[in-house]
Structure 1
Amino acid sequence: MSQSDLMIPESASGISFVGHSDVNGLGDTCQVMIANGHAYVGHVFSGGVSVIDVRNPRDPRTVNFLPTPPNTWSIHLQTHGDLMLVINEFDFYSQYQEESDYYGRSINETGGRNFAAGIRVFDISTPARPREIGFMPVDGKGVHRIWWDGGRYAYASIMPWGFTDHIFGVIDLINPERPVEVGRWWVPGMWTAGGETPTWTNRWALHHPVVANNIAYCGWRDGGLILLDVSDPTKPTLVSHLNWSPPFGGGTHSGLPLPDRGLCIVPDEAIADNIEDGLKHTWVVDVSVPTNPVTISTLPTPADRDFVAKGGHFGPHNVHENRIGSFQSSNLIFSTYQNAGVRVFDISNQFQPAEVAHFVPPAPTQWNDYRPNRPRVVHSVDVYVAQDGLMYVTEGAGGGLTILQYDGI
């Protein structure tokens, strides 16, 4: 019996199952990128990056594993052409067993350097055998996530010593073997080593940016959405700042710009079980005047069952980011909704978004989360959509990599 025969969804509409990989028992999958017929997947608990041959999407085969240094995360990565960037960051879950300790406050403390911090560059011209060619160290706890779509500059959330949390950093990749940080921006109050004092008590920190037309659309966790002008990458400047927390729960993850429509899709990440952090939304923001962003609607909340009672996290995590070489649309939004699976929304009418498809995977058959007392619930955390409509979905603590087909393409 193949892995494909084993996947019976909890619920599905408008999305067909294609294939599945348990990633050789390393089912704790996070960000996924597709390049040259291979999926590159970061792991939350298993300490590394897996390479999966997906040229036959009905029978994906794990072909390599790149281990991460001890006490180090490599949960996020980016690919373009023959290069892959992989983050190195302190493994926060090894220190914060309770999620509220990680998500609920600023988390940069001084300490030892028994972990790797920075960005690793790999040559993936031989897709199954990535070869490390460069490393950019960060003097601090590392890099959380990167946006890079093949240009000279990458844009990342970095956590240097002396700051309360992750800030915005610009990395010059003109020489991929020697990447170098060339620009920074942070919310005033974050640089405590420089005498600044935060005015907030929750967690203001950059999760990551997405860049279009020289504007970086930044999810700043409990600080909301921040737009930065990066026309001079060495001197990012503030364009605007929009925050709806409070009264809403915060956890802003990212901003997906749709430049042709003057819109930005902004998911607030659900970060606590049983919506203890409040019901989170994915916001539709009008950014046609970048200096004055305005929220105009939210994507509808899945309601096909009681997902709060299911346990675990219910709410948005990430959206497909319209990368070069992937499926691109300004009308269809592909979103992971954690214990509610993956969802597809039609925003042709930006004031009345509608859900048009979903797929909720079954309970996990393996479990890699070493934290105590975690509910054994699959959390769909990332989705990459290829040009042919194939959806590559990662499943958090034990679900592996699931390959789906959106029937509307």
Structure 2
Amino acid sequence: MTTQSLPQPEFSRNMRLIGHSDQGGKPDGVQVMVHRGYAYIGHMVSQGFSIVDVRDTKNPRPAGFVAAPPGTWNVHLQAHDDLLLVINARDLFADVRFADEKVYYTRSVSETVKGTQQRGWSAGVRIFDISTPDQPKEIGFLGLEGIGVHRIWYVGGRWAYVSALIDGYSDYIFLTIDLADPRQPQVAGRWWLPGMHTAGGEKPDWPEGKRYALHHAIISGDTAYASWRDGGLTLLDIKDRTAPQLISHRNWSPPFGGGTHTALPLPDRDLLIVLDEAVLDNQEDGEKLIWVFDVREPSSPVSISTFPQPDERDYVSKGAHFGPHNLHENRPGSFISSTLIFATYQNAGVRAYDISNPYQPKETGALVPAAPAKMMDTRPGRPQVIQSCDVFVDAQGIIYSTDYNGGLSIIEYLG
């Protein structure tokens, strides 16, 4: 592929598009992990996950596709050492009841799907051996009763951490998974926000139209930093992996619009970067922000600043979602920084921020990819607008970003 054939970005500052892939004709991407020169990409529509050889970042090549079981989402995945963990959950966006996005984001998922008789999907986590990176071999499966797993945190060792919607709960809760034997993973512990355990007689006490559900947790040491969509942020003590304990809970929705998605700890600075996801078109769910919290006293996290919003054009009226979605998560083996933060901003592309002064974050780079060549999202009326979804930065500082329709963008940061 020559540079001339790259799709022309709509906007760039301090960033340059160096490679692009349609992921073997399946350009719908959600989470991306780059490991040993290969990108593993979960899909939103194409049920399964793709492998792209990115050893030559300017000339990425499709290297395989692994199909999901029928009716099953593989939107998120995690790679470390010789293991790849892939979520299995019911493909909710293939369900007509979720054709209107609002239904997914503003009420309990189990409420919407109750009464489903047929179990036509796989729920849990599939575990693959990726010692040969482009030939994953399934070696284990954690099966769960319910909708399944949304997202995983796994960076090697014995423990993995997932958000799972299992029978008896209103929405996704926190589970710790014991991988002492990856061929036979076991659930070890669980934690949920009060009101979510419907089978235990708990009743939600949150407002109508709010969705309390764990998006995922990032683990640092013995603390899980967990994001609960409209339920805000919790810090959990997981010294005992079988019995997580609450350290603190903060929720700023209302007055803000909720959607808390990612909480990235910067342990060397006692800071936590917390991102609220924009989930409705044209900012119908209000302005969403990326917050800086001071967590030197874990029992009392305090917000000290917010990141600046992209403002080189009117993104609110551009169509689709405008606002934060995901952060690069400083995983072992990837680019790790406690001053340079990368985020996706959906219709405003990929952004870089300098937080050397945590009270005054500054944007230091941006790239807004071209509109997708074709639409993969099958939900009616979705606009043909870039929705930069996930971002992964490798140890060399190369940025990889997915889109629901637009393929994989490989970006060089020039800041």
Counterpart-to-counterpart distance in 1, 2:371 and 2:233: 34
Q: Which amino acid aligns with 2:99?
A: Q
Contact kept? 1:152, 1:172, Cα under 8 Å: yes
Distance (Å, rounded) in 1 between the aligned partners of 2:2 and 2:42: 24
Q: Is the 8 A contact 1:4 1:20 kept in 2?
A: no
CA distance in 2, matches of 1:237, 1:50: 37
So what's the TM-score if we normalise by structure 2?
A: 0.97
Counterparts of 1:364 and 1:93, CA distance in 2: 19
The counterpart of 2:159, out of the listed 153, 157, 174, is 153
Letter in 2 for 1:322: N
**1:291 aligned partner:** 299
Q: Deviations over 1:151-185 (max 9, x none)?
A: 21101101111100000000001101111100000
- Is 1:138–2:148 an aligned residue pair? no
- Kept in 1, the 8 Å contact 2:325–2:344? The answer is yes
* CA distance in structure 2 between the partners assigned to 1:155 and 1:76 by the alignment: 13
235 and 345 in structure 1: CA distance in 2 versus 1, 3 angstrom threshold: same
Residue of structure 1 in register with 2:33 after alignment: 33
Deviations 1:305-356 (A, max 9, x none): 1001110000000000000000000001100000000000000000000000
Q: Does 1:404 align with 2:411?
A: yes
* Contact 1:4 1:19 (C-alpha < 8 Å) held by counterparts: no
- Partner of residue 9, structure 2: 9
Question: One-letter code of the match for 1:92?
Answer: L
- 2:90 is equivalent to residue 90 of structure 1: yes
Task: Measure how far apart 1:44 and its partner are.
Answer: 0.2
Letter in 1 for 2:109: I
Query: How far apart are the structure 1 equivalents of 2:307 and 2:250?
Result: 18
The residue type paired with residue 60 of structure 2 is P
Q: Distance in 1 between the 2:227 and 2:262 partners?
A: 4
Of the three residues 388, 395, 405, the one matched with 2:403 is: 395
TM-score, normalisation: structure 1: 0.98
3-state DSSP class of the match of 2:384?
Answer: coil
The aligned amino acid for 1:232 is: D
Give the secondary structure class of the aligned counterpart of 1:57. coil
| 1:250 is aligned to 2:252 | no
Q: Is the 8 A contact 2:275 2:325 kept in 1?
A: yes
CA distance in 2, matches of 1:235, 1:214: 12
Whole-Å Cα distance in 2 between the matches of residues 82 and 60 of structure 1?
A: 22
1:5: Cα distance to partner?
2.1
1:376-395 correspondence to structure 2 within 5 Å = 376-395=384-403
Q: Distance in 2 between matches of 1:390 and 1:6?
A: 17
Residues 186/56 of structure 1: CA separation in 2 closer, same or farther (3 Å cut): same
RMSD (CA atoms)? 1.0
Instruction: Give, in whole Å, the separation in 1 of the partners of 2:126 and 2:353.
Output: 35
1:102 aligns with 2:104: yes
Unaligned runs of 5+ in 1: none
2:181 match: 175
Whether contact under 8 Å (2:374, 2:384) holds in the other structure is: no
What is the rounded CA distance, in whole Å, between the counterparts of 1:35 and 1:215 in structure 2? 25
Partner of 2:72: 72
How far apart are 1:227 and its partner, in Å? 0.6
Q: In the alignment, residue 128 of structure 1 is paired with which amino acid?
A: D
Q: Which residue of 1 aligns with 2:171?
A: 165
The answer to whether the 8 Å contact 1:3/1:20 transfers is no
Q: 1:244-284 CA deviation, whole Å, 9 max, x = no partner? A: 00000000001000011111101100000000000100111
Distance 1:361 1:4 in 2: 15
Q: Secondary structure at the match of 1:46?
A: coil
Contact residue 4 and residue 18 of structure 1 kept, 8 A: no
Asked whether the 8 Å contact 2:232–2:249 carries over to 1, the reply is: yes
| 1:43 aligned onto 2:50 | no
Counterpart of 1:311 (choices 314, 319, 331) is: 319
Identity over the aligned pairs, expressed in percent? Answer: 55
- CA displacement at 1:113 relative to structure 2: 1.3
Residue-by-residue CA offset, 1:338-376 (whole Å, 9 max, x unaligned): 000000000000000000000000111122111100100
| CA distance in structure 2 between the partners assigned to 1:159 and 1:119 by the alignment | 12
**Count of paired positions:** 407
Contact 1:3 1:59 in 2 (8 A): no
Residue 321 in structure 1 maps to residue 323 in structure 2 = no
Distance 1:194 1:168 in 2: 16
Say which is worse superposed, 234-243 or 21-30, in terms of deviation. 21-30
Cα deviation, 1:284-307, whole Å, max 9, x if unaligned, reads 111110000011111111101100
Alignment match of 1:210 (pick from 203, 210, 218):
218
Alpha-carbon distance in structure 1 between the residues aligned to 2:259 and 2:268? 27
Query: Cα distance, 1:2 vs. partner?
Result: 4.2
2-structure distance, mates of 1:176, 1:4: 45
| 1: CA distance, partners of 2:4 / 2:120 | 40
Give me the whole-angstrom Cα distance separating, in 1, the residues matched to 2:136 and 2:302: 43
- Cα contact 2:195–2:203 (8 A) shared by 1: yes
Hey, what's the Cα distance between the residues in 1 that align with 2:106 and 2:203? Answer: 18
One-letter amino acid of the structure 1 residue matched with residue 289 of structure 2: H
Whether 1:300 and 2:302 are equivalent positions in the alignment is: no
User: In structure 1, what is the equivalent of residue 368 of structure 2?
Assistant: 360
Q: Specify the SS of the correspondent of 1:102.
A: helix
> Counterparts of 1:180 and 1:302 in 2: how far apart (Å)?
43
Asked if the contact 1:144–1:156 (Cα under 8 Å) also holds between the matched residues in 2, the reply is yes
Letter in 1 for 2:278: A
1:187-224 superposed Cα distances (whole Å, 9 cap, x missing partner): 11101111111101310010000000210001100011
State how far apart, in whole Å, the 2-side matches of 1:236 and 1:6 are. 47
